[in-house]
């Protein structure tokens, strides 16, 4: 039996991110924040219809995601990494309908966090996009909110691959805490995309164009706490429990698959004998 090479945290990356792709991702992060925070930048109605700003920024996010994935692919994604990406995208797409809809329970994030940790930030970013896109097709969740969800999940997976080194229980606890925090942050950012259209304009937590940033920000914080904190807590608790309970076994399985696949090993063709 051939002995498999040891797997280190940095050598397991299934998709390599080159310097140019890193710059593109940094620019994408900036544009993503601009898109999420559009209510503080462009008032509804200034670009035509009231719903024009989120739609325009949603299209922008789709274009940014396409550019980023293209850059990542140029850095090196082979057939083995592509196969793993397809399998995990299908798994996440199948898991998502099992949880979403009850007290904020989300079963899609823990696989995303663990896969990003083992297979690297490039893989985590791409998996966040593909799994959310596939699950939206399955559940009929295609809409103007989908680019925001894809972008948010892409960065959840990518940041998981950039977490500091750790092993054993310390690593599992670090990932569980990160999963909880990302659950809150995901909901906090996603709410921004529909906040101006979700409550009565006369409400004290409604979006009011023209208010100073500090007052607008206080209104949004109150809106998020009143309408989303419970849901986000359900997501955070689900992430923490899933990673704590299933994390060790899933990490071991993913790393065993990475050792066998040897994603970054060069392909060599043996000369024909005779």
User: Could you tell me if residue 45 is left (phi over 0), alpha (psi between -120 and 50 degrees) or otherwise beta?
Assistant: left
Measured in whole angstroms, how far is the alpha carbon of residue 187 from the centre of its chain?
12
pLDDT of residue 9: 45
Closest Cα to residue 98, out of 111, 85, 84? 111
Tell me what pLDDT residue 15 has: 67
> What SS3 state is found at 211?
coil
How many CB atoms sit inside 10 A of residue 44's CB? 18
Per-residue pLDDT of the chain (274 residues; tens, 9 = 90+): 444 444 444 444 666 666 777 777 777 778 778 878 877 877 655 554 555 556 666 676 677 667 666 656 665 566 777 788 889 988 888 887 776 556 567 788 989 999 999 988 888 888 888 888 888 887 777 777 788 888 888 889 989 999 999 989 999 999 999 999 999 999 898 888 788 888 788 888 888 888 888 998 999 999 999 988 888 998 999 999 999 999 999 999 999 988 887 665 554 545 555 5
Task: Provide CATH code, domain 19-261.
Answer: 1.10.1760.20
Are 186 and 241 a contacting pair, CB within 8 Å?
A: no
pLDDT of residue 142: 74
DSSP-derived 3-state class of residue 135: helix
**Domain boundaries in the chain?**
19-261
Burial of 110 (0-12, 13-18, 19+ CB in 10 A): buried
What pTM value is reported for the model?
Answer: 0.80
For residue 97, the Cα-to-chain-centroid distance in whole angstroms is 17
Give residue-wise pLDDT tens across range 88-124: 988 888 887 776 556 567 788 989 999 999 988 888 8
Quote the pLDDT of residue 249: 95
| CA pseudo-torsion sign 44, 48, 53, 55 | positive
Residue 5's pLDDT is 43
């Amino acid at each position: 039996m051939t002995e498999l090479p040891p797997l280190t945290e940095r050598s397991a990356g299934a998709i390599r991110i080159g310097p140019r792709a890193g710059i593109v991702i940094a620019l994408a992060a900036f544009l993503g924040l601009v898109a999420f925070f559009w209510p503080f930048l462009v008032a509804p109605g200034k670009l035509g219809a009231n719903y024009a700003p989120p739609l325009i920024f949603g299209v922008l996010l789709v274009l940014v995601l396409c550019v980023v994935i293209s850059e990542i692919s140029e850095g090196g994604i082979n057939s083995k990494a592509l196969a793993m990406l397809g399998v995990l995208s299908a798994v996440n797409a199948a898991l998502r309908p099992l949880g979403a809809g009850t007290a904020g329970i989300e079963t899609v994030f823990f696989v995303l966090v663990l896969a990003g940790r083992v297979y690297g930030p490039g893989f985590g970013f791409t998996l966040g996009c593909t799994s959310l896109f596939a699950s939206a097709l399955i559940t009929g969740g295609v809409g103007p909110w989908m680019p925001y969800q894809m972008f948010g999940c892409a960065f959840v997976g990518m940041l998981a691959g950039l977490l500091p080194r750790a092993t054993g229980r310390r690593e599992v606890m670090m990932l569980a805490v990160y999963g909880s925090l990302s659950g809150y942050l995901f909901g906090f950012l996603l709410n921004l995309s529909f906040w101006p259209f979700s409550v009565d304009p006369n409400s004290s937590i409604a979006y009011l164009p023209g208010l100073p940033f500090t007052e607008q920000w206080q209104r949004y914080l109150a809106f998020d706490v009143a309408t989303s904190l419970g849901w986000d807590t359900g997501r955070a608790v689900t992430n923490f429990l899933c990673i704590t309970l299933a994390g060790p076994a899933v990490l071991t399985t993913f790393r065993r698959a990475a050792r066998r696949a040897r994603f970054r090993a060069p392909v060599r063709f043996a000369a024909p004998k005779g």
